[in-house]
Chains A and B, each alone.
Chain A
Amino acid sequence: MLGREAALVLLDKALGYSKAQETDIYLNAQDLGLSRFAGGAIHQNVAHGNVVLNVRSVVGKRLGRATTNDLSDSGIKKAVESAHQNALLMPEDSNFIGLPPPSDAVTVESWDEATAFCSPETRAKIAHGVCLQGKEHDLNVSGACRTGVQEIAVVSSHGTRAYHAGTFAGLIINTMSDDSAGWAKGGGWRLADMDTEALGREAVGKAVDGRKPMAIEPGRYPVVLDTYAVDDILEALSLYGMGAQAVQEGRSWMNDIIGDRAMSPNVTIWDDGSATQGWPVPFDAEGMPRRRVDVITAGVINTPVHNSYTAGKDGIVSTGHQAYFTGAPIASNLFMQEGDSSLQGLIRSTERGIYITRFFYTRLAHSKGCVMTGMTRDGTFMIENGQITHPVKDLRFTQSYVDALAGVELVGRESKLVLNEVGFATRVPALKLSSFNFTGVTV
Chain B
Amino acid sequence: MDDFLSRALDLASVQGASYCDVRLVETNQERFVVRSGAVDTLSNDESLGIGVRVLVNGFWGFASTNIVSAAEVDRITGLAVEIAKASAQSNNGPVSLGPPVTSRGVYTTPIQVDPFSISSEDKLGLLLESDRRMGSVKGISARTGNLIFIKEHKTFANSEDAHVEQTIYEAGGGIMATARGNGEVQRRSYPQSMRQQGCAGWEFVDAMDLVGNAERIATEAVALLSADHCPSGVTTLIVGASQLGLQIHESCGHAIELDRVLGSEAAYAGTSFLTTDKLNNFQYGSEQVNITADSVRLPGLGSYGWDDEGVPAQSTPVVENGRFTGYLTSRETAAGLDLGLKPNGSMRAASWNRIPLIRMTNVSLEPGNWELEDLIADTEDGIMMEMNRSWSIDDRRFNFQFGTEIGYEIKKGKLGKILRNCTYTGITPEFWNSCDAVCNDKLWTMWGIPNCGKGQPGQIGHTGHGAAPARFRNIQVGVMK
Task: Identify the A interface with B (CB < 8 A).
Answer: 32-52, 64-71, 75, 78-79, 82-83, 86-87, 89-91, 93, 95-96, 119-121, 123-125, 127-128, 131, 140, 142-144, 146, 172-174, 176, 249-251, 255-256, 326, 360-368, 371, 373-375, 377, 394, 396, 398, 421-422, 439-443
Q: Which residues of the other chain, A, contact B33 by a CB distance below 8 angstroms?
A: 326
Decide yes or no whether B338 CB sits under 8 A from chain A: no
- When the two chains form the complex, which single residue of B42, B79, B390 contacts A363, counting CB atoms closer than 8 Å? B390
Decide yes or no whether B369 CB sits under 8 A from chain A: no
- Contact A32 to B401, CB < 8 A, known contacts A65-B43, A66-B43, A82-B44: no
Q: Which residues of the other chain, A, contact B49 by a CB distance below 8 angstroms?
A: 50, 69
Q: Which residue of B is nearest A61, CB measured? A: B38
Within 8 A of A (CB), among B35-84: 35-36, 38-49, 51, 59-67, 76, 79-80, 82-84
A439 to B425, Cβ gap below 8 A?
yes
A47 to B62, Cβ gap below 8 A?
yes
Bound form: Cα–Cα A144–B396 in Å: 19
Q: How far is the CB of A14 from chain B (nearest CB, A)?
A: 14
Task: Show 27 A/B contacts (Cβ-Cβ < 8 Å), sorted by A.
Answer: A32-B457, A38-B265, A43-B264, A44-B62, A47-B76, A48-B64, A48-B354, A67-B43, A67-B44, A68-B45, A89-B42, A89-B120, A89-B124, A93-B39, A120-B61, A125-B89, A140-B263, A142-B264, A142-B267, A251-B142, A326-B41, A360-B394, A366-B403, A373-B392, A373-B401, A377-B395, A398-B423
Decide yes or no whether B355 CB sits under 8 A from chain A: yes
Decide yes or no whether B99 CB sits under 8 A from chain A: no
Q: How far is the CB of B428 from chain A (nearest CB, A)?
A: 9
B110-149 CB mask vs A (1 if < 8 Å, else 0) is 0000000000110010001000000000000110000000
- When the two chains form the complex, which single residue of B394, B425, B427, B456 contacts A421, counting CB atoms closer than 8 Å? B456
Q: How far is the CB of A132 from chain B (nearest CB, A)?
A: 9
- When the two chains form the complex, which single residue of B45, B142, B403 contacts A250, counting CB atoms closer than 8 Å? B142
Q: Which residues of the other chain, B, contact A255 by a CB distance below 8 angstroms?
A: 180, 185
B141 to A249, Cβ gap below 8 A?
yes
Bound form: Cα–Cα A251–B427 in Å: 31
Q: How far is the CB of B28 from chain A (nearest CB, A)?
A: 10
B267 to A172, Cβ gap below 8 A?
yes
B374-391 CB mask vs A (1 if < 8 Å, else 0) is 000000000000000111
Q: Which residues of the other chain, B, contact A48 by a CB distance below 8 angstroms?
A: 51, 63-65, 353-354, 457
Which of the four size classes fits the interface of chain B? 35 or more
Within 8 A of A (CB), among B409-427: 421, 423, 425, 427
Q: Which residues of the other chain, A, contact B40 by a CB distance below 8 angstroms?
A: 326
Q: Which residue of B is nearest A82, CB measured? A: B44
- When the two chains form the complex, which single residue of A33, A41, A250 contacts B90, counting CB atoms closer than 8 Å? A41
Chain A interface mostly? strand
- Contact A79 to B46, CB < 8 A, known contacts A47-B63, A49-B65, A439-B425: yes
B44 to A398, Cβ gap below 8 A?
no
B46 to A36, Cβ gap below 8 A?
no
A37 to B457, Cβ gap below 8 A?
no
B351-364 CB mask vs A (1 if < 8 Å, else 0) is 00111000000000
Q: Which residues of the other chain, B, contact A95 by a CB distance below 8 angstroms?
A: 38
Top 8 closest pairs, chain A to chain B, by CB: A174-B267, A120-B86, A249-B142, A65-B43, A142-B267, A442-B399, A128-B90, A48-B353
Q: Which residues of the other chain, A, contact B59 by a CB distance below 8 angstroms?
A: 42, 45
B60 to A86, Cβ gap below 8 A?
no
Within 8 A of A (CB), among B205-220: none
B410-453 CB mask vs A (1 if < 8 Å, else 0) is 00000000000101010100000000000000000000000000
Bound form: Cα–Cα A297–B254 in Å: 41
Bound form: Cα–Cα A329–B389 in Å: 22
Q: How far is the CB of B222 from chain A (nearest CB, A)?
A: 13
A38 to B266, Cβ gap below 8 A?
yes
Q: Which residue of B is nearest A41, CB measured? A: B92
B267 to A38, Cβ gap below 8 A?
yes
A250 to B457, Cβ gap below 8 A?
no
Q: How far is the CB of A367 from chain B (nearest CB, A)?
A: 5
- When the two chains form the complex, which single residue of B66, B121, B273, B427 contacts A69, counting CB atoms closer than 8 Å? B66
Bound form: Cα–Cα A38–B92 in Å: 10
- Contact A42 to B392, CB < 8 A, known contacts A48-B63, A89-B42: no
- Contact A44 to B39, CB < 8 A, known contacts A38-B264, A66-B44: no
- Contact A146 to B61, CB < 8 A, known contacts A47-B79, A86-B43: no
Q: Which residues of the other chain, A, contact B480 by a CB distance below 8 angstroms?
A: 365-366, 371, 398
Q: Which residue of B is nearest A377, CB measured? A: B395
Decide yes or no whether B226 CB sits under 8 A from chain A: no
Decide yes or no whether B202 CB sits under 8 A from chain A: no
- When the two chains form the complex, which single residue of B60, B393, B421 contacts A366, counting CB atoms closer than 8 Å? B421
Task: Identify the B interface with A (CB < 8 A).
Answer: 31, 33, 35-36, 38-49, 51, 59-67, 76, 79-80, 82-84, 86-87, 89-92, 120-121, 124, 128, 141-142, 178, 180, 183-185, 187, 262-268, 270, 273, 353-355, 389-396, 398-399, 401, 403, 421, 423, 425, 427, 455-458, 476, 479-480
Q: How far is the CB of A151 from chain B (nearest CB, A)?
A: 13
Bound form: Cα–Cα A48–B33 in Å: 30
A360 to B270, Cβ gap below 8 A?
yes
Q: How far is the CB of A65 from chain B (nearest CB, A)?
A: 4
Q: Which residue of B is nearest A121, CB measured? A: B86
- Contact A443 to B273, CB < 8 A, known contacts A38-B267, A39-B263, A362-B392: yes
B92 to A44, Cβ gap below 8 A?
no
Q: Which residues of the other chain, A, contact B456 by a CB distance below 8 angstroms?
A: 34, 36, 44, 144, 146, 421
Q: How far is the CB of A200 from chain B (nearest CB, A)?
A: 13
- When the two chains form the complex, which single residue of B64, B389, B399, B423 contacts A47, counting CB atoms closer than 8 Å? B64
Q: Which residue of A is nearest B456, CB measured? A: A144
Q: Which residues of the other chain, B, contact A68 by a CB distance below 8 angstroms?
A: 45-47
Q: Which residues of the other chain, A, contact B421 by a CB distance below 8 angstroms?
A: 366
Bound form: Cα–Cα A439–B476 in Å: 11
Q: How far is the CB of B253 from chain A (nearest CB, A)?
A: 15
- Contact A365 to B390, CB < 8 A, known contacts A249-B178, A443-B399: yes
Bound form: Cα–Cα A34–B83 in Å: 10
A144 to B267, Cβ gap below 8 A?
yes
Bound form: Cα–Cα A144–B456 in Å: 8
Bound form: Cα–Cα A140–B67 in Å: 39
Q: Which residues of the other chain, A, contact B64 by a CB distance below 8 angstroms?
A: 46-49
Q: Which residues of the other chain, B, contact A251 by a CB distance below 8 angstroms?
A: 141-142, 178, 180, 185, 187
A90 to B479, Cβ gap below 8 A?
no
A41 to B46, Cβ gap below 8 A?
no
B86 to A35, Cβ gap below 8 A?
yes
- When the two chains form the complex, which single residue of B35, B42, B84, B267 contacts A65, counting CB atoms closer than 8 Å? B42
- Contact A69 to B89, CB < 8 A, known contacts A42-B59, A46-B457, A93-B38: no
Q: How far is the CB of B133 from chain A (nearest CB, A)?
A: 16
B395 to A375, Cβ gap below 8 A?
yes
B42 to A39, Cβ gap below 8 A?
no
- When the two chains form the complex, which single residue of A46, A96, A371 contacts B63, counting CB atoms closer than 8 Å? A46
Contacts A46-B457, A66-B45 supplied; 10 other A-B pairs, CB < 8 Å: A41-B91, A65-B43, A68-B47, A83-B43, A144-B267, A249-B141, A255-B185, A326-B40, A366-B421, A442-B394
- When the two chains form the complex, which single residue of A83, A173, A442 contacts B398, counting CB atoms closer than 8 Å? A442
- Contact A443 to B427, CB < 8 A, known contacts A174-B266, A375-B392: yes
Q: Which residue of B is nearest A65, CB measured? A: B43
Q: Which residues of the other chain, B, contact A86 by a CB distance below 8 angstroms?
A: 42-44, 120
Among A131, A142, A256: residue with most chain B CB under 10 A:
A142
Bound form: Cα–Cα A90–B42 in Å: 8
Q: Which residue of A is nearest B389, CB measured? A: A365
Q: How far is the CB of B427 from chain A (nearest CB, A)?
A: 6
- Contact A127 to B90, CB < 8 A, known contacts A50-B66, A364-B390: yes
Q: How far is the CB of A371 from chain B (nearest CB, A)?
A: 7
- Contact A75 to B60, CB < 8 A, known contacts A34-B456, A41-B92: no
Q: Which residues of the other chain, A, contact B39 by a CB distance below 8 angstroms?
A: 90-91, 93
Q: Which residue of B is nearest A33, CB measured? A: B83
- When the two chains form the complex, which single residue of A36, A371, A396 contacts B394, counting CB atoms closer than 8 Å? A396
